[in-house]
Amino acid sequence: MLDRYWESTAGSAGARAPRPWTTSTARLRSLNGRWRFRLSPTPAGTGPGFERDGYDDAAWDLIRVPAHWVLEDITVPWADEPRVSAPRLDGTGPLYTNTAFPFPIDPPRVPTENPTGDYRLEFELPADEVADRREGATVLRFQGVDSCAAVWLNGVELGWFTGSRLPVEFAVGHLLRAGRNVLAVRVHRWSAGSYLEDQDMWWLPGLFRDVELIERPVDAVDDFNIVADYDHTTGVGRLRVDADRPGMVEIPELGVRAATGETIAVPEVDPWSAERPRLYRGTLTAGGERIDLVVGFRTVTIDGGRLLVNGSPILFRGVNRHEHDEHRGRSLDRETMVRDIELMKRANINAVRTSHYPPHPEFLRLCDEYGLWVVEECDLETHGFIYAAWEGNPPAEPVWRDALHDRIRRMVQRDKNSPSVVVWSMANESWTGDTFRELRQWIRDADPGRPVLYERDPSYADSDFHSLMYPSLEDLERIGRREEPTPEGVEPGSTDDVRRRGLPFLLVEYAHAMGNGPGSLVDYQRILEAHERFCGGFVWEWIDHGFAARDAAGRPFTAHGGDIAFRPNGGRYCLDGVLFSDRTPSPAYFELAAAIAPVALEPDAASGTVRIVNKHDFADLSALVFGWRLDVDGLPIAEGPIDVPAVGPRSGVQIVLDDVPPVEAADGEVWLTVTAALADATDWAPRGHEVAVGQARWETVGSAPASAGPAARSEEVGDPVRPEPVFDPLTGALGSLFGVGIAGPTVDVWRAPTENDRGQGSSNTMAADGKAVGLDRFTHRTDARATVGPTTVVRGRSGPATQTLAVLWEQTWTVGDARIDLTADFAFTGRWSDTPHGHYDVTPPRLGLRLALPGGYDRVEWFGRGPGESYVDSMAAARIGRFAASIDSFQVPYPVPEENGNHVETRWLRILGPGLPTLRIAATDPEISLFDFTARRWTSEALENARHPHDLSDSGSVWLNLDVRQQGLGSSSCGPALPERYRVPSEPATLRLTFTAER
């Protein structure tokens, strides 16, 4: 073995040439299971000799394979408590960094402190399973080992390799024995390969994907290539299977029986697309083996600056997917992969970027079957060289050439026959280097049928796409018009500049879903659909990468980088998915589903019609059924089906809704909801699964909108309670209303900062800007209180110490028999802009009132947007209706506590609790203004200060915020500033509310 092979830039030694992943008649024996394992602190491992046949490993741990050893219960001999349960948070377990290398930058050297796991497996082979003992026959395959391994079989050295998320095979036929065999693998946590694997994710060593023995005939096909083009002008498919051995190709369904290398024209073939994943199954028989062929006919081209498949432009409604499981890290079982795909398809997602490495091959097989476009990315990111000003960056250093070629070859060879893969992405965030040119050329020669993406090189000379991460809406618009500013370092008007402008644009990452957010998904989608240059985008990202952990008291929580005692550490940056770490969808998941819905439903009361736009690229609407429902004040009064013709892709139809009855005058607020749902069950969702919803006000002829009053009829109204407000003589605050102890209302301008409010570093950090001027520490002063007849006016000023900025407020209470009306006026005073702390305009994250109610209240019903949370820039998934929820279920358990559970456009809400009068708060005139509300058992301050959800405890009160407005969510944790229109303007505002109560 090469001395210090783990620090070699050669990539690997001793492995077979990479070949396509496939299933076949060759017997596959899984070597997954319980292996012997011993962890050592340095690359020396347990020392020489552990690979020997007779080595005594009886005292070693047992570990499951596949798994990451840092996520298993094992012995760490040098730790304080050697026998550990996973995940260990003390720095000997999983480590998380975003851009930083967790070791000194001195390529290709890595520290001597390099945890090394020695693995041993003894397995028996019956005599008939080792029939062919020639060298080329049986292969030993590792689907994924992080980060570097050396391998011995029956004491004989096979070689070593790096490339954690790429397969490696060794020829072992000549080494296998009937009876007992011993496989020994030494795995190093750090290696030269680690310099190429600096993706924003956990560092998770081990044999984490399958280990397999495949008994192949010695002259079996190694390399085969399926060409399955589709000519959309004639409907003819062209099939050719090339192989490195002559063989016979058969696709019974198409009547195909041909030799390898022969081109066959198949008339009237059904093409493959993500929308209609039509596959034809067949075989390639050669060298005594029958290989399964899975053929999808499709042609990917770039023409006229657009990405086309089968002649049609396509739009990726995509997500970036890391492989993650909250217990098992990147060691995913098939069930989890299927779950991901079902969840994606149900959320209208049609594309996946495999950020930032080839996934388990089974995932791609499932994408072929279920239908998802795949942008497959190679296992290559050298981001940490940014801290060396990119000096020594591997793509620019010839010494790394072989390792980079090896990685690209292993990806393309493994997956080139997968119809779902339509774009190869060479790397993520690895800056520039000449090797990219070679890699691009190699791919073009090996696989001319797929375009190549590389986002980071501003010249885009080696990319078939222009691409960026996290542009603002304005920048995206400009890109759509091909009017983007020339990237830095590129000469305006140069060949690169002109060429880039002609390329299609692929939005490789956008909408950073960290914590509560992202906002603007609808805005981005509107732009992506508006310009033909766009082939869509990929939200960052699919799933939070947090680990299921327990604190000292045994309470479960989601661990992130900041919970690990190791520096550097990327903190909470690993929690930025539309699924929580346990795969529960977060509100962002539903918002995304609504924003990217492939059907737009636009009812229009004036014409009594609905416009239905089919945004699919290939499918007509025949798989969907449509219906309408008429609600008055959120209660359904009539519904019916809508007959929709099989409208073709990228076109629309206007349908007259004859059956919708006119609504009686003054019945209340009338809404028409139109839905599109699956007509039949699919392999990813049941029949009736809702694909799209559209809503519009539907006050038809003769009807008039009603005030909040009449709607109360349908709210099980009890006996009205008299308001009997009690005001504190000094502060003017309420002490009691309707006989219920109430504290407040006080002016509130702060919310527990969301991850997006905090921004990234020092940029776009609205939370830090607001704190700098004390928005989080307002004190309140009452200046006047006067009661005249039924009216009490309280006036005051709320603002922070050290500042002049403040809100001047006036609350006018008018008491009636069974109601009390509040007009709350807010005016901004002092320096809100150009403050001494910086030359910016500070806008508050919210503007409104906060009340404390008795803790016995436990439920809320409301008429407004729901059922999930909503914000001004994230409300596509929240429809107008009537909803009910317990206060506890209202809270969205973001793993890092932050503002959540807001509801915009509220007409009224009722707060209920056993033995307490039901309190009803309504917009006094909903036609003029609505309000936002949140309700929780703890204050915003407690929410802000909690590190984990379990730090939050019942304060004994219910804290109710009634806001003129909360600012939007944005996605500034990695992305542009929150657009102006989603902020709370520092302008005078009024909240008009009517309080009633009943028993």
Residue 544 near ligand GAL by CB under 6 A: no
Number of residues that bind ligand GAL (CB under 6 A): 13
Nearer of residues 186 and 356 to ligand GAL, judged by Cβ: 356
Residue 429 near ligand GAL by CB under 6 A: yes
Nearer of residues 540 and 982 to ligand GAL, judged by Cβ: 540
Rounded to the nearest 10 degrees, the angle between the axes of helix 401-415 and helix 361-370 is 40
Nearest residue to ligand GAL, using CB?
A: 200
Q: How far is the CB of 540 from ligand GAL (least distance, A)?
A: 5
Nearer of residues 199 and 673 to ligand GAL, judged by Cβ: 199
DSSP H or E run through 943: helix 940-945
Q: What is the DSSP letter of 417?
A: T
Residue 415 near ligand GAL by CB under 6 A: no
DSSP H or E run through 944: helix 940-945
Nearer of residues 72 and 563 to ligand GAL, judged by Cβ: 563
Other CB atoms within a 10 A radius of the CB of residue 32 amount to 17
Q: How far is the CB of 764 from ligand GAL (least distance, A)?
A: 14
CA distance 886 to 857: 9
Pairing of strands 145-146, 139-142: unpaired
The values of phi and psi at residue 981, to 5°, are: -70, -10
Nearer of residues 508 and 904 to ligand GAL, judged by Cβ: 508
Nearer of residues 529 and 755 to ligand GAL, judged by Cβ: 755
Q: How far is the CB of 393 from ligand GAL (least distance, A)?
A: 16
Q: How far is the CB of 967 from ligand GAL (least distance, A)?
A: 22
Q: How far is the CB of 319 from ligand GAL (least distance, A)?
A: 13
* Per-position x/- string for 88-127, each x denoting binding to ligand GAL as judged by CB under 6 A, each - no binding: ----------x-----------------------------
546-575 positions binding ligand GAL, by CB under 6 A: 573
Query: Residue 245 contacts by C-beta under 8 Å, 6 or more apart in sequence?
Result: 219, 220, 221, 222, 260, 286, 287
Q: How far is the CB of 351 from ligand GAL (least distance, A)?
A: 17
Q: How far is the CB of 509 from ligand GAL (least distance, A)?
A: 5
CA distance 595 to 522: 5
For the record, the structure tokens of 432 come out as 């520039």
SS3 label, residue 290:
strand
For the record, the structure tokens of 627 come out as 């219906």
Query: Pick the catalytic residue: 509, 529, 699, 869?
Result: 509
Whole-angstrom CA distances from 690 to 131, 155, 590, 646, 656 are 55, 58, 11, 18, 22
Residue 576 near ligand GAL by CB under 6 A: yes
Nearer of residues 486 and 760 to ligand GAL, judged by Cβ: 760
Sheet strands side by side (includes 211-215): 27-30, 211-215, 139-142, 168-171
Helix, strand counts (H, E) of the chain: 13, 62
Nearer of residues 417 and 432 to ligand GAL, judged by Cβ: 432
The one-letter amino acid code at 701 reads V
Q: How far is the CB of 320 from ligand GAL (least distance, A)?
A: 7
Q: Which of 8, 116, 413, 428 binds ligand GAL (CB under 6 A)?
A: 428
DSSP H or E run through 307: strand 306-309
Nearer of residues 803 and 972 to ligand GAL, judged by Cβ: 972
Give percent helix, percent strand, percent coil of the chain, each to the nearest 5.
15, 35, 45
Residue 539 near ligand GAL by CB under 6 A: no
DSSP string of 613-664, one letter each residue = EE--SS--GGGEEEEEEEEETTEEEEEEEE----PPTTEEEEEE-TTSPPPP
Which region holds residue 921: left if phi is over 0, alpha if psi is between -120 and 50, else beta?
Answer: beta
Q: Does 509 participate in catalysis according to the annotation?
A: yes
Residue 626 · residue 675 · CB < 8 Å: yes
CA distance 16 to 639: 64
> Is the bond preceding 108 in cis, omega lying within 30 degrees of 0?
yes
587-606 positions binding ligand GAL, by CB under 6 A: none
DSSP string of 45-110, one letter each residue = TT-TTTTSTT---TTSEEEEESS-GGGS-EE-TTSSSSEEPSSP-SSSS-EEESSS-SS---TT--
Query: Pick the catalytic residue: 429, 591, 699, 899?
Result: 429
Closest among 415, 937, 348, 980 to 690, alpha carbons compared: 348
Nearer of residues 454 and 890 to ligand GAL, judged by Cβ: 454
Closest among 288, 87, 33 to 203, alpha carbons compared: 87
* Per-position x/- string for 302-341, each x denoting binding to ligand GAL as judged by CB under 6 A, each - no binding: ----------------------------------------
Q: How far is the CB of 202 from ligand GAL (least distance, A)?
A: 12
Q: Which of 208, 431, 540, 589 binds ligand GAL (CB under 6 A)?
A: 540
Q: How far is the CB of 592 from ligand GAL (least distance, A)?
A: 16
941-980 positions binding ligand GAL, by CB under 6 A: 974
* Per-position x/- string for 196-225, each x denoting binding to ligand GAL as judged by CB under 6 A, each - no binding: ---xx-------------------------
Q: How far is the CB of 455 from ligand GAL (least distance, A)?
A: 8
CA distance 213 to 218: 14
339-378 positions binding ligand GAL, by CB under 6 A: 356
Nearer of residues 287 and 571 to ligand GAL, judged by Cβ: 571
DSSP string of 685-724, one letter each residue = S-TT-EEEEEEEE---TT-----HHHHGGGS----B----
CA distance 102 to 70: 16
Q: How far is the CB of 105 from ligand GAL (least distance, A)?
A: 19
Other CB atoms within a 10 A radius of the CB of residue 635 amount to 15
Nearer of residues 367 and 974 to ligand GAL, judged by Cβ: 974
SS3 label, residue 561:
helix
* Per-position x/- string for 826-855, each x denoting binding to ligand GAL as judged by CB under 6 A, each - no binding: ------------------------------
Q: How far is the CB of 377 from ligand GAL (least distance, A)?
A: 10
Nearer of residues 210 and 381 to ligand GAL, judged by Cβ: 381
Which region holds residue 173: left if phi is over 0, alpha if psi is between -120 and 50, else beta?
Answer: alpha
459-518 positions binding ligand GAL, by CB under 6 A: 469, 509, 512
The one-letter amino acid code at 221 reads V
Cβ burial 487-523 (10 Å sphere, 16+ → b, else e):
eeebeeeeebeeebbebbbbbbbbbbbbbbbbbbbbb
Catalytic residue numbers, as ranges:
429, 509
List residues near ligand GAL by CB under 6 A. Answer: 98, 199-200, 356, 428-429, 469, 509, 512, 540, 573, 576, 974
